[in-house]
């Protein structure tokens, strides 16, 4: 099993190109030439040039790698080494990454630390790179209380952007409907629904009967995690709706994105067969659609069809009044792990950078999510932006980079 330490790796392990494209020649100056380190790292990847040199053995030498570009490229070479079963190379790159990317460092270091853990987990899950195949300790996802989760969601526009855009479209689509059925497919445990209930309660034609159907939450569900059961969550939402004079039903269906929500789709079809009609069905997808596998490998259909495509086709067959989608504006569907890693690294720095901007390290707000968060949003709002694409999608941006898109359509 790989052991991470702060001491230097064993002396004099020279790295040679192995003929398979996974070799790493690190072009490093001696530790007494720190200026050349940063110059070379900025000018070109530090592993190009020489065919065999020793790894750095001091914190001074490691400092030359402490930039986002160098850390990203080290991660790419590490992914190549793991996929190529080059355990020696992977182990040495992991040692460097572990020493330059502490989990409590700046945004780039924390992101690299998360990718470091993911690479070790990948080696364990795939059985590649046998020397690294002992799995890391399982990550412990923090469990939020409902109030803490609401504060977390309010921290940045990441989720609220999609809520606001989707709720506006939903209100238009269900205007005049006496029964509204929302199928809420999201990662934030119905945090969007109270605002929607408030809006429905104030309709000029009066509030509708509201039905809410959600997939179950399991240990394998994407984060964030909630510290109460869905029975308790449903009870709170029903009571809140009652306080707004809205009769509400809450239903949980045991289903997951890993199988394209097949059980949920089947349940909705059965309900349509026995219902008297007249309800407006809305399928609301918030940050969860990309968790439905889009790969076609192993598909039995001819031509091959991904689970995500099958899910969207099934949703259309239900003839909903509206489908809303808010999701990450990024593409992680490349077939090779290196391309996916590059895409993920260049996208996932955004939430780390945004949190650093809103809640600097050591601030009380970062520890407590206090009421001043809303004021901080106003103060730092220059980083966030919104634009409308030519196809009509709304896009949330951070420092000019696309973050989340929101769209809605009526299946024809």
Per residue in 275-315, pLDDT tens? 777 899 999 999 999 889 886 644 555 677 888 999 999 99
How large is the C-alpha radius of gyration of the chain? 25
Instruction: Determine the Cα–Cα distance for residues 139 and 66; give it in Å rounded to an integer.
Output: 25
Domains of the chain: 34-132 (no CATH), 144-409 (3.40.50)
Residues 178, 179, 182, CA angle at the centre, nearest 5°? 140
Instruction: Determine the Cα–Cα distance for residues 81 and 365; give it in Å rounded to an integer.
Output: 41
Q: What is the mean pLDDT of residues 66-73?
A: 80
For residue 41, pLDDT beyond 50: no
Instruction: Determine the Cα–Cα distance for residues 30 and 39; give it in Å rounded to an integer.
Output: 13
Q: What is the mean pLDDT of residues 110-126?
A: 77
Element (H, E) at 409: strand 401-409
| pLDDT number for residue 263 | 94
For residue 316, pLDDT beyond 90: yes
Beta bridge partners of 322: 282
What six digits make up the tokens of 381? 């709002």
For residue 69, pLDDT beyond 50: yes
| pLDDT number for residue 320 | 95
Beta bridge partners of 231: none
Q: What is the mean pLDDT of residues 126-152?
A: 67
Q: Are strands 401-409 and 322-328 parallel, antiparallel or unpaired?
A: antiparallel
Beta bridge partners of 328: 404
Range among 16-20, 123-127, 136-140, 170-174 rated most confident: 170-174
| pLDDT number for residue 37 | 30
**Residue with the larger pLDDT of the pair 362 and 174:** 174
pLDDT band at residue 244 using 50, 70 and 90 as cut-offs: very high
pLDDT band at residue 139 using 50, 70 and 90 as cut-offs: low
Spatial contact of 285 and 235, defined as CB atoms under 8 Å apart: no
Average pLDDT value over all residues in the chain: 74
């Amino acid at each position: 099993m790989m052991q991470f330490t702060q001491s230097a790796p064993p002396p004099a392990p020279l790295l040679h190109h192995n003929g398979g494209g996974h070799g790493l020649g690190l072009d490093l100056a001696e530790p007494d030439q720190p200026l050349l380190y940063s110059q070379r790292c900025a000018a070109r990847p530090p592993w190009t040039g020489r065919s065999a040199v020793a790894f750095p053995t001091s914190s001074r030498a490691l400092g030359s790698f402490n930039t986002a570009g160098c850390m990203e490229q080290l991660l790419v070479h590490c992914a190549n080494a793991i996929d190529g079963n080059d355990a020696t190379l992977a182990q040495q790159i992991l040692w460097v990454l572990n020493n330059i990317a502490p989990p409590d460092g700046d945004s780039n270091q924390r992101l690299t630390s998360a990718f470091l853990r993911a690479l070790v987990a990948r080696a364990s899950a795939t059985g590649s790179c046998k020397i690294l195949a002992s799995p890391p300790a399982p990550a412990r996802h923090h469990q939020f209380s409902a109030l803490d989760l609401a504060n977390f969601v309010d921290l940045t526009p990441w989720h609220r952007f999609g809520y606001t855009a989707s709720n506006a479209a939903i209100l238009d689509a269900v205007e005049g409907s006496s029964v509204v059925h929302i199928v809420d497919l999201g990662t934030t445990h119905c945090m969007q629904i109270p605002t929607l209930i408030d809006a429905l309660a104030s309709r000029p034609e009066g509030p509708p009967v509201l039905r809410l159907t959600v997939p179950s939450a399991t240990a394998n569900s994407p984060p964030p995690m909630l510290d109460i059961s869905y029975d308790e969550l449903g009870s709170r939402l029903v009571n809140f709706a009652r306080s707004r004079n809205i009769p509400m039903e809450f239903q949980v269906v045991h289903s997951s994105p890993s199988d394209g929500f097949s059980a949920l789709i089947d349940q909705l079809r059965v309900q349509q067969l026995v219902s008297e009609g007249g309800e407006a069905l809305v399928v609301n997808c918030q940050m969860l659609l990309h968790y439905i596998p889009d790969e076609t490998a192993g598909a039995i259909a001819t031509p091959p069809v991904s689970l995500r495509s099958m899910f969207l086709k099934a949703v259309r067959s239900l003839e909903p009044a509206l489908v809303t989608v808010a999701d990450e504006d990024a593409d992680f569907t490349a077939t090779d792990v290196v391309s996916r890693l590059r895409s993920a690294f260049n996208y996932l720095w955004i939430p780390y950078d945004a949190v650093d901007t809103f809640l600097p390290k050591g601030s009380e707000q970062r520890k407590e999510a206090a009421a001043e968060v809303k004021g901080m949003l106003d103060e730092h709002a220059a980083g966030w932006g919104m634009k409308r694409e030519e196809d009509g999608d709304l896009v949330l941006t951070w420092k000019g980079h696309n973050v989340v898109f929101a769209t809605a359509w009526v299946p024809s």
